[in-house]
Chain A
Amino acid sequence: MLLIECPWCGPRDEAEFAYGGEAHIARPTEPDKLSDAEWAEYLFLASNPRGTYLERWRHAHGCRRWFNAVRDTYTHEIIEIYAMGSLPKSKLGIQAYEDSWRRGSAAEQNAKRGSAKS
């Protein structure tokens, strides 16, 4: 069982948290401009790497707040915890963010046009 550092409550057992899947999947602001295939990329596709992964967690049985984490899916090492709406600062986290296929996706371009959110 992982030990996860909630940014507001401190280190707690994984049992207190709910997993939120891949982080940084921005919602397109003008979905009508996306083809079915491009929309499906946003809706259905998630990365599943062996290694560094940017993911979301929620302290479901605590403060109920969402946050992001950089975790190694092989070692389960949690490399970084960072706030929702911000980008990773660790070297591995930055690299995983930049290397993601999603950065070039039509869905993400669409999301960026309409919002300041990253």
Chain B
Amino acid sequence: MSPQSHRVTERGRTDKTRLIPFKFDGRDYVGQAGDTLASALLANGVHLVGRGFKYHRPRGILSAGSEEPNALIQLGQGQRSEPNTRATQIELFEGLVAESQNRWPSLAFDIGEANNLVSRLLPSGFYYKTFMWPASWWEKYEHMIRRAAGLGKAPVGRDPDRYEKHHAHCDVLVVGSGPAGLAAALAAARTGARVILADEQSELGGGLLSNSEATIAGKSTEAWRSDTIAAIEACEAATLLPRTTVTGYYDHNYLTMVERVTDHLANPPAHLPRQRLWKVRAKRVVLATGAIERPLVFRDNDRPGIMLSSAVRTYLQRYGVLSGRRALVFTNNDDAYRTALSLKEAGGVVAAIVDLRIEVSGALLDAARAKGIEVLLGHAVVATKGHKHVRSVSVMALTGAGDGVQGLAREIECDLIAMAGGWNPTVHLLSQSRGKLSWNEDLGAFVPGQSFQAETSAGSCTGALETADCIRQGLKAGMDAARAAGFKGRAPAAPKVEEHSGSGGMRLIWTVPSTRPVGRGGKHFVDFQNDVTAADIRLAAREGYQSVEHLKRYTTTGMGTDQGKTSNVNALAILGDVLSSDIPGVGTTTFRAPFTPSAIGLYAARNVGEFFDPERRTMIDEWHREAGAKFEHVGQWMRAWYYPKPGEAQRQAVDREVKAARDGVGIMDASTLGKIDIQGPDAAEFLNRVYTNAWLKLGIGRCRYGLMLHEDAMVFDDGVTTRLAENHFHMTTTTGGAAGVLDWLEEWRQTEWPEMKVHFTSVTEQWAVVSICGRKSRELLAELCDDIDLSGEAFPFMAMREGTVSGLPARVFRISFTGELSYEINVAARHGLALWRALMAAGEKHAITPYGTEAMHVLRAEKGFIIVGQETDGTVGPDDLGMDWIVSKKKPDFIGRRSLARPDMLKPDRKQLVGLLTDDPNEVLPEGGQIVADLKPAPPMEMLGHITSSYYSPNCGHSIAMALIKGGRARTGEKLFVPLDGKTVSVRVVEPKFFDPEGERANG
């Protein structure tokens, strides 16, 4: 076929002078600037663009908009390849590469089409009926089904494009820019209201772009369109957004929009994102979303060349494309006559208008007859022919009741069928906003009923069919919305519109009869994308799937990527026919966001890779990196995990660090510990309520370990808190728990004890903390600190002194998480690195050893110290941990106290923390391993608990583990088992104190 064989030069909005080369299924074509992929293919005479989902029948372009169920395209290549895009929405650009989907080996010859021959074996619910048993085979079936049932292919690898998010507020959001939307935006914007006008198409104007017959205010539709847009643009507070689909309508007038910023450009500028996700909060919303034409459900209505009548008109008037040279128009209403007239005027042949209605009158009918178009009233298309393109139809007269056909069949040749089954208002967003729909019998469609949010519908999405009504409704809706948002003004006068009108009325025959019963010869397609036929719906209803929600899932009607935009009402109506129920009685399913599929990348936008989650680094981070430390994530913090020397494996490095931190001197960056400054006259009393132990009498300069419980008595955080002054405390929390603890304290102060005078300030990042640990730590500190008496008597364990270390003002805490003599030196964050370097330099002669979080974990486990979140999981109380010693028996109350006496907390079989030793000292158990007493050859076995911590302890010369075990303390000395993959390890239950059980080493 010659290039652009179906282009009509004197029509359309495309730029005839700018030819755009593109590739479809490996073949080169040429289109024009302003084309969509669909219009460019049609201009080249290409209808066959895909294969049906289930039967793999040849499929062509059905529509000209976002409702397209057939022309789903794999767009682009490599990592930019995107499946299931609608050819009707893809703007043509130079070098565009597209592929058809769901065919193998090629679109013209598709092996899967064999399904069509055995289609009697593929009824609705086929998968459920066939793959029920044996149940254990389901996994195999599923794999096969998923491969067979795919549409396009998801790209492999990372999305290379950039996406952005944009938050916006407006007074009036107008969705859709057809006659109603433009009128609404104009009326609202003239009042000074902040108006956003969004439309999914590349140009604003909606239906006006393909309506060249009417005149508005004495002007052409194009002149009125461009004048109105210019008038809106002249309003300073108006934002016009073409290529922007409103995808979701959420609570409190919060809407999401997807703006396709550069998808239409061959060479997008680097500074622009591919797409932008708008999150809009609108005071008022005007929905002017238009209407989607309904296909007629007749026998073999899915052949390429069978299109929606309105789409045929759009391709002609907007894109200058004749979708066929010899058209047959098949309709149940007036609108298709406009298509017939347009085709005729553009030089096409209209073989006939086949109208289901018996009595028709009006200007449109007269005009058609005047042009010499044959009109067959009370007739129906009963069959179509043509494998990869429609070739001819068979037409018969309907019986009076419309439930059958009579007389002789007449063959009419055609290469295009324009079908018109009436209009479905686009109520998707209204439905998402929880607005109610109501059934309009005259239109045979759901129209907006009651609003739920601050929203109004205007134009053809209300069921209005005439341009004049749409403009009038739009002006009123826009004006009302601006007034409701607090603006004043008067709406512009409604312009006079002249266009052909019909008699109105339609004849609703939901399944067009043919010479054979439905389901016996030929297929009456309802849902083109999911290959659901009228026979499938009838069968499902007979089998008892009579609720619309069941029907939908059983037949999959409306469950494609198009959400059944062209099929839902037809499906409901056919179900209604079977059930002898009216359509409101059948009910509807709910529309969900997004209106059209959107890229996952949009929702992530810039929050990917390094921006996924903030990474927090300490002030000493630079040194750790230079030293070649390995890091681990602790919450958002990056903590040094261990510091391998050249050639050292992790285990060797950690063993070395653990030994040094006891026998010599170790140094650790503890800056990430949560730190909260607490001040106020009620500070001590407050601590007394949130910790389990007593705090009122803690001396100034003294530290105390505390445990926090939730009100259910479960351990929630722990840490050391120090009294700096009478009314001033310094609290530390776990690294991961810092924010949660601060929130917890604030909650109690603000909501339960507002009378207490106490304030909390996070100071985590204000202090750098360096912990030095080991027998030589006092000696090291003494070299750098001359204004604190470090003797055991003057500076005892669990005390804090202020002074200077290496000349830096410091708070030195003599506290220990390792059980060793240890100092935690706090300096201003900006001094952290200097302090670390000074300690490293002074410690050189003691072979000072930096140790990371892994060594810290081993050191504390040797002592049996818990880590909240490792030994606890929100179901562990203080007694379960063997920490009853820290729970005050004297305090009348503290958070969690009453719950300690709940019967469940006193049960003897609660899981308790114990130590475990393996027989083989080198066997390190996996954390999370399950523990059993009664070993069986295979599961199930009664599981007593699990391992919470497990390491090799170089100081003990033995692996060590802690575990939570039912009634664990009473099992001390017992032998238990840890079944693992391929082996079982036997363990002995011990007290969870593996090293220095008397705790003497903390004294140095």
Q: Is A34 interfacial (CB 8 A cutoff)?
A: yes
Which A residues are in CB contact (< 8 Å) with B712? 43
Q: Which of B722-753 contact A (CB under 8 A)?
A: 743, 746-747, 750-752
A112 to B793, CA, bound (A): 49
Q: Are B751 and A56 in contact (CB under 8 A)?
A: yes
Main secondary structure of the interface of B (DSSP, over half): helix
Contact of B250 among A1, A28, A65 (CB under 8 A): A1
* B484 nearest CB across to chain A (Å): 16
Instruction: Please name 12 pairs of A and B residues whose Cβ atoms are closer than 8 Å in the assembled complex, sorted by A.
Output: A1-B252, A1-B254, A3-B253, A18-B743, A29-B893, A34-B898, A39-B898, A43-B899, A58-B743, A64-B746, A65-B750, A75-B452
Q: Is B711 interfacial (CB 8 A cutoff)?
A: yes
> Assuming A20-B747, A64-B746, A84-B751, is B902 touching A76 (CB within 8 A)?
no
A55 to B886, CA, bound (A): 35
Residue ID in chain A nearest B434 by CB atoms:
A75
Q: Are A66 and B750 in contact (CB under 8 A)?
A: yes
Q: Is B552 interfacial (CB 8 A cutoff)?
A: no
Number of interface residues of A (CB under 8 A): 27
Sorted nearest first, the 9 A-B pairs with minimum C-beta distance are: A31-B898, A3-B252, A66-B750, A1-B254, A76-B251, A66-B751, A2-B252, A27-B752, A84-B751
Binary B-proximity of A7-28 (CB < 8 A = 1, otherwise 0):
0000001000010100000011
Q: Is A49 interfacial (CB 8 A cutoff)?
A: no
Which B residues are in CB contact (< 8 Å) with A3? 252-254, 281
A20 to B743, CA, bound (A): 11
Q: Is B903 interfacial (CB 8 A cutoff)?
A: yes
Q: A3-B281, A58-B743, A60-B743 are in contact. List 17 more A-B contacts (CB 8 A).
A: A1-B252, A2-B252, A27-B752, A28-B898, A29-B893, A31-B893, A31-B898, A34-B898, A36-B903, A39-B898, A39-B899, A56-B751, A76-B252, A84-B751, A85-B751, A85-B754, A117-B752
Residue ID in chain A nearest B281 by CB atoms:
A3
A20 to B751, CA, bound (A): 10
Residue ID in chain B nearest A27 by CB atoms:
B752
Q: Is B338 interfacial (CB 8 A cutoff)?
A: no
A18 to B750, CA, bound (A): 15
Q: Is A32 interfacial (CB 8 A cutoff)?
A: yes
Which A residues are in CB contact (< 8 Å) with B754? 84-85, 117
A27 to B898, CA, bound (A): 11
A32 to B894, CA, bound (A): 12
* A38 nearest CB across to chain B (Å): 10
* A14 nearest CB across to chain B (Å): 8
A75 to B898, CA, bound (A): 38
A65 to B281, CA, bound (A): 24
* B144 nearest CB across to chain A (Å): 41
A18 to B901, CA, bound (A): 31
Which A residues are in CB contact (< 8 Å) with B751? 20, 56, 66, 84-85
Q: Are B897 and A31 in contact (CB under 8 A)?
A: yes
A18 to B743, CA, bound (A): 11
Binary A-proximity of B749-782 (CB < 8 A = 1, otherwise 0):
0111010000000000000000000000000000
* B860 nearest CB across to chain A (Å): 32
Binary A-proximity of B216-259 (CB < 8 A = 1, otherwise 0):
00000000000000000000000000000000001111100000
A29 to B753, CA, bound (A): 11
Residue ID in chain A nearest B252 by CB atoms:
A3
Q: Which of B408-428 contact A (CB under 8 A)?
A: none
Q: Which of A54-112 contact B (CB under 8 A)?
A: 56, 58, 60, 64-66, 75-76, 84-85
A65 to B746, CA, bound (A): 8
Which B residues are in CB contact (< 8 Å) with A1? 250-252, 254
Q: Are B747 and A66 in contact (CB under 8 A)?
A: yes
> Assuming A31-B897, A31-B898, A39-B899, is B252 touching A84 (CB within 8 A)?
no
* B194 nearest CB across to chain A (Å): 15
A27 to B754, CA, bound (A): 13
A39 to B252, CA, bound (A): 38
* B688 nearest CB across to chain A (Å): 15
Which B residues are in CB contact (< 8 Å) with A117? 752, 754
Which A residues are in CB contact (< 8 Å) with B901? 36
A73 to B752, CA, bound (A): 25
Binary A-proximity of B276-304 (CB < 8 A = 1, otherwise 0):
00000100000000000000000000000
> Assuming A31-B893, A66-B750, is B902 touching A39 (CB within 8 A)?
yes
* B708 nearest CB across to chain A (Å): 16
A60 to B739, CA, bound (A): 11
Q: Which of B435-467 contact A (CB under 8 A)?
A: 452
A13 to B250, CA, bound (A): 12
Q: Which of B697-727 contact A (CB under 8 A)?
A: 711-712
* A115 nearest CB across to chain B (Å): 9
Q: Which of B807-823 contact A (CB under 8 A)?
A: none
Residue ID in chain B nearest A23 by CB atoms:
B751
> Assuming A31-B897, A84-B754, is B252 touching A36 (CB within 8 A)?
no
Which A residues are in CB contact (< 8 Å) with B902? 36, 39-40
* B749 nearest CB across to chain A (Å): 9
Residue ID in chain B nearest A4 by CB atoms:
B252
Residue ID in chain A nearest B254 by CB atoms:
A1
Residue ID in chain A nearest B710 by CB atoms:
A43
Residue ID in chain B nearest A3 by CB atoms:
B252
Which A residues are in CB contact (< 8 Å) with B897? 31
Which B residues are in CB contact (< 8 Å) with A34? 898
* A46 nearest CB across to chain B (Å): 13
A58 to B750, CA, bound (A): 10
A32 to B893, CA, bound (A): 9
Residue ID in chain B nearest A75 by CB atoms:
B452
A20 to B750, CA, bound (A): 12
* B831 nearest CB across to chain A (Å): 29
Which A residues are in CB contact (< 8 Å) with B752? 27, 117
Which A residues are in CB contact (< 8 Å) with B750? 65-66, 84
A20 to B744, CA, bound (A): 11
Residue among B251, B743, B751 with most chain A CB within 10 A: B751
Which A residues are in CB contact (< 8 Å) with B746? 64, 66
Which A residues are in CB contact (< 8 Å) with B254? 1, 3, 13
A18 to B252, CA, bound (A): 17
Q: Are B899 and A13 in contact (CB under 8 A)?
A: no
* A34 nearest CB across to chain B (Å): 7
A64 to B742, CA, bound (A): 11
* A63 nearest CB across to chain B (Å): 11
Residue ID in chain A nearest B167 by CB atoms:
A13
A40 to B899, CA, bound (A): 9
Residue among B250, B251, B253, B743 with most chain A CB within 10 A: B251
Q: Are B251 and A43 in contact (CB under 8 A)?
A: no
* A112 nearest CB across to chain B (Å): 14
Which B residues are in CB contact (< 8 Å) with A76? 251-252
Residue ID in chain A nearest B251 by CB atoms:
A76
Residue ID in chain A nearest B253 by CB atoms:
A3
Which B residues are in CB contact (< 8 Å) with A60? 743
A13 to B252, CA, bound (A): 10
* B248 nearest CB across to chain A (Å): 10
* B989 nearest CB across to chain A (Å): 31
Q: Are B252 and A32 in contact (CB under 8 A)?
A: no
A33 to B452, CA, bound (A): 48
* A35 nearest CB across to chain B (Å): 11
A1 to B251, CA, bound (A): 5
* A61 nearest CB across to chain B (Å): 11
